[in-house]
């Protein structure tokens, strides 16, 4: 196993998950639930499944498409999201 890749993956996912909606939902459920262990196991299982699906999708995409094309599509997608977030919403004026 590539330990450096493991650490990079762990840190990236850990930092990106801090303060997101799923963590806030886990906090709310854990605080109002009589069984916080069940909330932990359910939320941890959901994150594992979502990560597994992402890895499998990434692996199959890498087999079908060249790496430069996938990186280009990702870059364009993130760029469009950035522009959309910076552009004022005309419906909320």
**In this model, does residue 19 exceed pLDDT 90?**
no
pLDDT band per the 50, 70, 90 thresholds, residue 75 = very high
Q: What is the dihedral of CA 38, 43, 46, 51, to 10 degrees?
A: -140
Phi and psi at residue 86, in whole multiples of 5°? Answer: -85, -25
> Global pTM?
0.66
19 vs 84: which has the higher pLDDT: 84
Mean pLDDT across 55-78: 92
* Residue-range domain boundaries for the chain: 3-92
**In this model, does residue 91 exceed pLDDT 60?**
yes
């Amino acid at each position: 196993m590539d330990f450096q890749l493991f650490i990079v993956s762990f840190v990236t996912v850990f930092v990106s998950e801090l303060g997101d909606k799923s963590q806030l939902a886990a906090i709310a459920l854990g605080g109002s639930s009589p069984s916080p262990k069940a909330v932990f196991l359910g939320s941890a299982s959901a994150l594992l499944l979502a990560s597994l699906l992402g890895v499998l999708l990434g692996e199959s995409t890498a087999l079908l498409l060249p790496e430069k094309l996938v990186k280009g599509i990702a870059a364009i997608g993130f760029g469009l999201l950035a522009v959309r977030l910076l552009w004022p919403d005309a419906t909320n004026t």
